[in-house]
Chain A
């Protein structure tokens, strides 16, 4: 999902750099205020850990392999603010040393994988974990959050590519979305397997975030939420335009596409053209809805398999919460 250099135009690169810069500044401020001095070296080490974990290839069918992104893993292990800083460090090293992902698209990559994924994924993880106490709750929450963070990052990535006119939204969004339905499952599977391994040997590491004091406050969550909404409004909302693709194409040809694509931020619910059979959006919507159901079911299955009932009961209330 690392966007290489050359695909984003100046306006998209600059806009995403500004949004990411603000997000990173927020995370650094938050971390600087709350992370204790003795936990600061762990942030550097955790970044190296995520990098090393990303280098392990998990075999998939037919000789292909996948690897971890690690945003939700970092958020679960370290807390959201530290996770943003850690993922930023990982992406910067990948960009400057390993040449994975471009420099001019670093802002966009940071927004997708170091800000949107750990913050939104971390929020989903925290909410579900609170709803479902015990170790099984941890597994289910991590499974759903990891999948969600991957889908969110993929959607933002598609939006940025389409905004730069590198590819049409009607091509790049379905492609990214459908592929990442499965990549997200891989990410969720790896994340939960790792967390289950840690729960087996050192459950207390997951009882609270390993970096103490980086817990979120209400104000911070509001700021983060606003920032994410801004990013989505910039990258994704313009493409949720209620115009059919053919019209967009004509508009592009006549040269007033810019006006036409200024879509409302709040799309009207079920505009009639959708009912008239615009299959593209429907199939994506259905795929997403079915995906959420499948993910919750699979996550619960993983929780049942990975955490024996005895351990779930024993730990409930003692070490977690």
Chain B
């Protein structure tokens, strides 16, 4: 399954993985709250938080290569938005502050999502009395995400092996057709799932 990269390391076994989910959520939330609230003069905290994060990644045995790859995936976006900040008085400093804060927050989230299984986060939502409809939707989405992305991949592969074309226009049309067919299959699958869930006593 190609999609395993999403939260690939969330089910490892390490001291950090054994922490309760609410604790990890609270630590990450508190850290990011401080990062956002502190102005540029609070930079010593950046160094403290960065070293804590390095220790956290080390204890959770998450490979540095994975963290770097994930960082590189989203850093251009951060850079692009931060660049817009340059065009104002004292823009250089604001740019640096935004880059540092944003990168540290991103690292914190990478740490959180790769030490905590999604189902544990859902249980927290449930305990906070978030309406069942949203929790069920999230749970079903997580369950079938991998199935549907695999299905998309299979369709794309099948298309690529049958149509040798250089023309972009055709590309768009056939990609859209794949998504269209995916939706039709999704509705049919949802009907089967509903029947199966009812058969097992779901209300």
Contact = CB atoms under 8 A, between A and B. Distances in A.
**Do chains A and B interact in one complex?**
yes
Interface of A: 2-10, 13, 24-25, 28, 31-32, 35, 37-49, 51-53, 55-56, 58-59, 68, 77, 85-86, 88-90, 92-93, 95-100, 102-104, 161, 165-168, 171-172, 175, 189-190, 193-198, 200-202, 205, 210, 249, 252-253
24 contacts: A5-B102, A5-B105, A8-B36, A41-B197, A42-B194, A44-B138, A44-B144, A45-B144, A48-B140, A52-B145, A52-B152, A56-B178, A88-B134, A89-B141, A97-B118, A104-B32, A104-B33, A165-B94, A166-B84, A167-B85, A190-B179, A193-B176, A194-B176, A252-B89
B202 to A, nearest CB: 9
Interface stretch (B12-20, B55-63, B166-174): B166-174
B186 interface: yes
B137 interface: yes
B133 A56 contact: no
Q: Is the interface of B mostly helix, strand, loop or mixed?
A: helix
A217 to B, nearest CB: 18
Interface residues of B, number: 77
Contacts of B134: 24, 28, 85, 88-89
Given A6-B35, A68-B179, 20 more contacts: A5-B32, A7-B82, A37-B203, A40-B133, A40-B137, A43-B133, A44-B137, A44-B139, A44-B143, A45-B190, A88-B134, A97-B6, A99-B110, A161-B81, A171-B88, A197-B181, A198-B180, A198-B183, A201-B181, A205-B184
A6 B144 contact: no
Q: Which of A10, A48, A165 has the most CB of B within 10 A?
A: A48
A49 B81 contact: no
A66 B179 CA distance: 15
Contacts of A48: 140-141, 144-145, 147-148, 186
B47 interface: no
B189 interface: yes
